[in-house]
């Protein structure tokens, strides 16, 4: 096929006709395109409770230890953080679930 017979793709919307066709036509947008979904409080608290399960947190803690996690802004290393969480975790968890932390 000769290059002179090749069609050129239209690059700007102004070159296109006013009629939309195909899947991207004038159909209403999907829910994903409408912006952030607002979940009710029970859904959020359910997700948070799932994230805060003992098994999930133990897996996360093992990953931190395996990666030799460094001290946070409080200056506590992994060993000191573990000791702190033994006493403080129940209160921290309750505050997270109540939205007061």
Supply the pLDDT for residue 93. Answer: 92
Does the structure show a pLDDT above 70 at 64? yes
> Can you give the pTM of this predicted structure?
0.50
Nearest to 90 by CA among 62, 56, 43, 54: 54
- CA 59 vs CA 13, 18, 19, 80: distances in Å: 51, 55, 54, 18
74-91 pLDDT, tens per residue? 889 989 999 999 999 999
Q: In which band, very low, low, confident or very high, does the pLDDT at 27 lie, cut at 50, 70 and 90? A: low
Q: In which band, very low, low, confident or very high, does the pLDDT at 51 lie, cut at 50, 70 and 90? A: very high
Supply the pLDDT for residue 52. Answer: 92
Average pLDDT of span 32-59: 76
Helix pair 41-51, 78-98: axis angle to 10 deg: 160
Q: What is the mean pLDDT of the chain?
A: 75
Measured distance CA(11)–CA(20) in Å, rounded: 15
Q: Which residues have C-beta within 8 Å of that of residue 82, sequence separation ≥ 6?
A: 61
Q: In which band, very low, low, confident or very high, does the pLDDT at 41 lie, cut at 50, 70 and 90? A: low
């Amino acid at each position: 096929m000769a290059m002179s017979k090749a069609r050129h793709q239209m690059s700007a919307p102004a070159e296109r006709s006013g009629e939309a066709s195909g899947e991207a036509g004038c159909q209403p947008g999907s829910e994903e395109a409408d912006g952030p979904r607002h979940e009710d409080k029970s859904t959020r608290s359910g997700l948070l409770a799932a994230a805060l399960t003992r098994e999930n947190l133990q897996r996360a803690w093992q990953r931190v230890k395996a990666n030799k996690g460094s001290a946070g802004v409080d200056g506590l290393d992994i060993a000191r953080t573990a000791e702190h969480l033994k006493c403080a975790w129940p209160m921290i968890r309750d505050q997270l679930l109540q939205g007061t932390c």
